[in-house]
Amino acid sequence: MSRKFVTIGHTPDPDDAFMFYALRSRIVKYDFDMIEVILDIETLNKLSMKNLLDFTAISVYTYGHVFKNYYLVKYGASFGINYGPIVVSRKEKINNPKDTLFATPGEYTTSTLLLKLYFGKDIDTVVLPFSEIPKLVAMGIIDAGVLIHEAQLTYRDYGLNKVIDLGEWWYSETKLPLPLGVNVVSKRLSKEFTKKLVQTFKESITYALKHEDEALRYALNYSRDKEIDRVRKFVKMYVNELSIDMGNLGLKAIDKLLSIAYQEKLLSEKPEIEVLD
């Protein structure tokens, strides 16, 4: 592999940190210079819309906006298997969605897409840092919020009620896993180089799964929740068999979600999924 600078984007969340551990620590060998860009998922989504990153984690919903510039990577995706983002409120039910202000972690996150598919695309939303959503809902400043990351496991600590698990709803409707986040690689790079880059990333995931405790200790540095058993549970929720290789099942789920988004006019065109093996 010829030497080159590669911009690699991922979130500071424990599931991403777990998968990128061996790559970032150079446990897996590679012959390129990596410029690491560690940012929240919505910022990575927006950077990918400008085609500014060579390889990055993004939301599946965002892939529907950037598919012309990026190949989909089969490895490292986050799927919820009959679980996913959770809508919470101080109330047990949301009777009037149109009169409800929902907090979301980003306009282009998959959780926001799911929220609009479930409650209606014209609902009133406000984007907030995902770590602040439970607190602001509990304080009554926001009516309801969609939770991602560790907050899915800790919302009860704020006295909140689960209104709906959007992953459970998705599975009941489609019998498919819920595609939430994927990795993509820019089409501006050569095919030969990108295949080697993707293979290196796959080796990083494989190493983490074989050395779970080691990778978890690293991931714990990035988690807002320092309770290792809860972090382990969260990582195992979203680093599963479909993360090793999404296969035809994962691709079918992504195509289904983006097709529905297009049908509901939440995407301007039907994405053509191009996978880099």
pLDDT-wise least confident of 113-117, 135-139, 147-151: 147-151
Confidence of residue 133 (pLDDT cuts 50, 70, 90): very high
What is the pLDDT of the chain when averaged over all its residues? 93
Task: Tell me which of 151 and 265 has the higher pLDDT.
Answer: 265
What is the per-residue pLDDT across 61-100, written as a single tens digit (0 to 9) for each?
999 999 999 999 999 999 999 999 999 999 999 999 999 9
Task: Tell me which of 228 and 209 has the higher pLDDT.
Answer: 209
Is the predicted pLDDT of residue 251 greater than 90, yes or no?
A: yes
Is the predicted pLDDT of residue 22 greater than 70, yes or no?
A: yes
Is the predicted pLDDT of residue 3 greater than 70, yes or no?
A: no
Could you state, in order of their start, the residue ranges of all structural domains in the chain?
5-79+178-276, 86-174
The CATH architecture one would assign to domain 5-79+178-276 is 3-Layer(aba) Sandwich (3.40)
Is the predicted pLDDT of residue 4 greater than 70, yes or no?
A: no
Contact 49, 65 (CB under 8 A): yes
* Two tokens, residue 104: 């979301």
Number of residues in the chain: 277
Predicted local confidence at residue 47, as pLDDT: 98
Q: Residue holding tokens 């446990």?
A: 27
Amino acid identity for residue 23 in this structure: L
Q: What is the pTM of this model?
A: 0.93
* H runs (alpha helix) in 87-225: 110-119, 133-138, 151-154, 166-174, 191-210, 212-220
Are 5-79+178-276 and 86-174 equal in CATH topology? yes
To the nearest 10 degrees (0 to 180), the angle between helices 212-220 and 228-238 is 110
Distances in Å between the alpha carbon of 112 and those of 66, 71, 108? 17, 23, 7
pLDDT-wise least confident of 39-53, 148-162, 189-203: 148-162
Domain 86-174 classification at class level: alpha beta
Task: Tell me which of 140 and 234 has the higher pLDDT.
Answer: 140
